[in-house]
């Protein structure tokens, strides 16, 4: 045996394991036996104590409250009831365990059983999260610990998450820590994720919240969060307070990457465009890549946001950059056409081609037609990037009968090209576009031509091919 070492026998190790289990069980039982408080106990405390606690005195340890009378008054915002339950001198630093929630497996005395998960909260959390400002004020006047966080989050987090601006301001005025970190590693600014939370964000910054504070797990700044949730007012606010534009989180995303990569519903496209516009105007780099070498253009094409795509292209985004998976922006949008027709994917395809995007290999056109046939305008703009087309039976078979019937006029014009060459007008357009490739969007608007011809050169939609 080497010096300084001691080898335990198997029996000694088993004995140590049993002692450890007994100790853990005793600690668990002591926690369950923590003092509980009822409304009667609250009133008894007042009767027995003639001297009220001062605001600056040390806080008493939090008591566990399971009294439904107390909980009902808090959850309904009953101010008069709370005045009776929490008179001067009453203990207000209570931990409340509301029943219900998700079922979880709990080990009790070596046996596993299903029980409701207990989420710890406090009177401050309840009133702050529900916007009961006067009830919250009463509790603070009674000396409630403004930063008490038995469940891993503060009342200020709760107020900001629920967009309760007045409650957030009140908590801050009573000394709440504007940079407190919850159990998920988030500061209050990080939980301002709704449009209505803008007032909370303003109050937080006024009381010293760190505009560039980073979350512990994702290394997100508040600007990342605002961009990811499409919050233009928050973005404007954070930029005024000096938010960093090029901080990259753990995924390698800048705030602009975060905005473009977030899945977007049609109703939110405008909000994300406003966010991206503000970032670009403030100097954000449109070519910055995340860990997968995806640029904002890649992701805005994947999410099919035509206005953001235009914004990226007009500000110098490279139209043919490949990401780590070998996809260019054109690949990304074509994969989404069938799923987001209401986003106008044809506008994205049109913009990419006008800025010099690679085209689909002609042999793959039937496959593209199969997956994108529900959007005739996408097919139109793709086909108008070629001077000739070799249309076969595979093209006809790629369009289901119900889709053909719905867009019969367009697909008849396509299949008519089986025996007919492209028109002279189109061939002239093709020749000029090839000559101006990469400069189309700069040169065409300056040409002394009628507007309808300029639009024609830039692949304007006609709902047929010729």
Given this model, what pLDDT does residue 447 score?
A: 93
Q: Is 380 exposed, middle or buried (0-12, 13-18, 19+ CB in 10 A)?
A: buried
Question: Is 52 inside a domain boundary?
Answer: no
Residue 97 sits in the same domain as residue 154: yes
Q: Which of 91-100, 118-127, 243-252 has the lowest average pLDDT?
A: 91-100
Question: Is 334 inside a domain boundary?
Answer: yes
Given this model, what pLDDT does residue 73 score?
A: 92
Domain final residue, candidates 331, 358, 385:
358
Given this model, what pLDDT does residue 120 score?
A: 84
Task: Indicate which CATH number applies to the domain containing 118.
Answer: 1.25.40.20
User: How confident is residue 91, by pLDDT bands cut at 50, 70 and 90?
Assistant: confident
pLDDT for residue 337 is more than 90? yes
Q: Which of 29-38, 82-91, 356-365 has the lowest average pLDDT?
A: 29-38
User: How confident is residue 49, by pLDDT bands cut at 50, 70 and 90?
Assistant: very low
Average of per-residue pLDDT across 260-273: 96
Question: Is 257 inside a domain boundary?
Answer: yes
**Token couple for 363:** 């042999």
Strand order from edge to edge, sheet including 36-37: 36-37, 63-65, 94-96
Select, from the ranges 34-38, 48-52, 382-386, the one with the highest average predicted confidence (pLDDT). Answer: 382-386
Question: Is 6 inside a domain boundary?
Answer: no
Name the average pLDDT for the chain. 87
**Token couple for 335:** 């994969």
Question: Is 239 inside a domain boundary?
Answer: yes
Residue 440 · residue 355 · CB < 8 Å = yes
Nearest Cα to Cα of residue 353 among 330, 373, 369: 330
- The residues, ordered by sequence, that sit 6+ positions from 317 with a Cβ below 8 Å of its Cβ are 286, 287, 295, 296, 297
Residue 353 or residue 33, greater confidence: 353
Given this model, what pLDDT does residue 20 score?
A: 62
Tell me the whole-structure pTM to 2 decimals.
0.82
Q: Which of 6-10, 155-159, 403-407 has the lowest average pLDDT?
A: 6-10
Residue 193 sits in the same domain as residue 218: no
**Percent of the residues in the chain that have a pLDDT greater than 90, as a whole number:** 74
Given this model, what pLDDT does residue 169 score?
A: 98
| Domain membership of residue 135 as a residue range | 28-41+61-104+113-209
Nearest Cα to Cα of residue 86 among 42, 122, 29, 22: 42
Question: Is 310 inside a domain boundary?
Answer: yes
**Percent of the residues in the chain that have a pLDDT greater than 70, as a whole number:** 82
Torsion of CA 85, 89, 92, 93, to 10 degrees: -160
Nearest Cα to Cα of residue 299 among 329, 320, 322: 329
Measure the CA–CA gap between 22 and 187, rounded to whole angstroms: 38
Residue 236 · residue 281 · CB < 8 Å = no
Residue 88 or residue 461, greater confidence: 461
Kindly write down the DSSP assignment for every residue of 97-136, as one continuous string.
--S-S-EEEEEETTEEEEEE----B-HHHHHHHTT-HHHH
Domain final residue, candidates 189, 209, 229:
209
Q: Which of 57-71, 247-261, 360-374, 391-405 has the lowest average pLDDT?
A: 57-71
Nearest Cα to Cα of residue 279 among 313, 233, 245: 245
User: Tokens 């996809």 correspond to what residue?
Assistant: 327
Measure the CA–CA gap between 196 and 213, rounded to whole angstroms: 21
Residue 257 sits in the same domain as residue 270: yes
Residue 283 · residue 314 · CB < 8 Å = no
Question: Is 354 inside a domain boundary?
Answer: yes
Average of per-residue pLDDT across 298-309: 98
User: How confident is residue 39, by pLDDT bands cut at 50, 70 and 90?
Assistant: very low
Residue 36 sits in the same domain as residue 184: yes
Residue 134 sits in the same domain as residue 199: yes
Given this model, what pLDDT does residue 35 score?
A: 43
Which letter does DSSP use for residue 54 in this model?
P
Residue 219 sits in the same domain as residue 188: no
pLDDT for residue 56 is more than 50? no
Residue 345 sits in the same domain as residue 385: no
Residue 94, classed as helix, strand or coil, is: strand
Residue 182 sits in the same domain as residue 33: yes
pLDDT for residue 320 is more than 50? yes
In this structure, what are the phi and psi dihedrals at residue 94, rounded to the nearest 5 degrees?
-100, 150
Torsion of CA 331, 337, 339, 342, to 10 degrees: 140
Give the orientation angle of helix 329-336 with respect to helix 365-372, to 10 degrees. Answer: 40
Domain final residue, candidates 324, 358, 392:
358
Residue 172 sits in the same domain as residue 200: yes
Nearest Cα to Cα of residue 232 among 223, 241, 243: 223
Q: What is the pLDDT of residues 211-255, one digit of tens each?
A: 999 999 999 999 999 999 999 999 999 999 999 999 999 999 999
Q: Which residues are paired to 105 by β-bridges?
A: 114
Question: Is 15 inside a domain boundary?
Answer: no
Measure the CA–CA gap between 147 and 178, rounded to whole angstroms: 10
- Report the number of distinct structural domains present in the chain: 3
Measure the CA–CA gap between 66 and 253, rounded to whole angstroms: 45
The length of the chain in residues reads 466
- CB-hemisphere CA count at 13 Å for 315? 21
Residue 201 sits in the same domain as residue 215: no
pLDDT for residue 97 is more than 80? no
User: Tokens 């939980």 correspond to what residue?
Assistant: 191
Average of per-residue pLDDT across 332-336: 97
CA distances from 462 to 110, 222, 348, 375 (A): 74, 45, 16, 13
User: How confident is residue 357, by pLDDT bands cut at 50, 70 and 90?
Assistant: very high
Residue 354 sits in the same domain as residue 290: yes
Q: What is the pLDDT of residues 163-172, one digit of tens each?
A: 999 999 999 9
Q: What is the CA radius of gyration of the chain?
A: 32
Nearest Cα to Cα of residue 430 among 376, 379, 466, 377: 466
pLDDT for residue 282 is more than 50? yes
pLDDT for residue 55 is more than 70? no
Residue 342 · residue 375 · CB < 8 Å = no
Residue 93 sits in the same domain as residue 233: no
């Amino acid at each position: 045996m080497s010096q300084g070492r001691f080898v335990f026998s198997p029996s000694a190790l088993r004995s140590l394991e049993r002692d450890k289990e007994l100790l853990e069980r005793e600690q668990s039982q002591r926690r369950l036996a923590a003092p509980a408080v009822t409304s009667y106990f609250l009133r008894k405390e007042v009767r027995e104590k003639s001297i009220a606690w001062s605001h600056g005195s040390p806080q008493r340890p939090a008591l566990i409250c399971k009294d439904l009378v107390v909980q009902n008054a808090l959850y309904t915002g009953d101010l008069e009831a709370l005045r009776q339950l929490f008179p001067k001198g009453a203990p207000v630093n209570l931990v409340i365990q509301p029943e219900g929630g998700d079922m979880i497996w709990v080990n009790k005395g070596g046996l596993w059983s299903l029980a409701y998960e207990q989420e710890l909260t406090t009177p401050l959390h309840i009133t702050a999260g529900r916007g009961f400002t006067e009830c919250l004020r009463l509790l603070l006047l009674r000396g409630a610990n403004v930063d008490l966080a038995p469940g891993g989050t503060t009342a200020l987090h709760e107020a900001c998450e629920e967009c309760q601006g007045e409650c957030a301001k009140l908590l801050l005025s009573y000394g709440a820590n504007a940079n407190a970190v919850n159990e998920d590693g988030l500061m209050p600014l990080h939980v301002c994720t709704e449009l209505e939370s803008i007032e909370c964000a303003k109050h937080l910054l006024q009381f010293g919240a760190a505009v560039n504070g980073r979350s512990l797990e994702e290394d997100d700044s508040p600007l990342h969060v605002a961009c990811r949730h499409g919050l233009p007012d928050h973005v404007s606010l954070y930029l005024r307070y000096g938010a960093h534009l090029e901080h990259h989180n753990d995924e390698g995303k800048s705030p602009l990457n975060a905005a473009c990569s977030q899945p977007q519903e049609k109703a939110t496209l405008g909000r994300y465009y406003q966010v991206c516009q503000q970032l670009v105007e403030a100097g954000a780099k449109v070519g910055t890549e995340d860990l997968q070498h995806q640029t904002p253009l890649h992701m805005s094409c994947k999410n099919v946001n035509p206005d953001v795509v235009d914004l990226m292209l007009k500000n110098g985004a490279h139209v043919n950059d490949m990401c780590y998976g070998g996809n260019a922006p054109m690949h990304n949008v074509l994969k989404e056409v069938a799923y987001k027709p209401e986003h106008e994917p044809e506008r994205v395809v049109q913009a990419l081609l006008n800025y010099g995007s690679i085209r689909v290999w002609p042999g793959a056109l039937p496959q593209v037609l199969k997956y994108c046939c529900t959007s005739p305008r996408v097919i139109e703009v793709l086909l108008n990037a070629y001077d000739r087309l070799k249309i076969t039976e595979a093209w006809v078979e790629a369009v289901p009968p119900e889709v053909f019937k719905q867009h019969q006029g367009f697909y008849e014009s396509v299949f008519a090209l089986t025996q007919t060459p492209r028109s002279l007008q189109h061939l002239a357009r093709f020749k000029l576009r090839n000559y101006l490739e990469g400069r189309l969007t700069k040169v065409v608007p300056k040409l002394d031509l009628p507007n309808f011809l300029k639009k024609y050169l830039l692949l304007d939609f006609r709902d047929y091919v010729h």
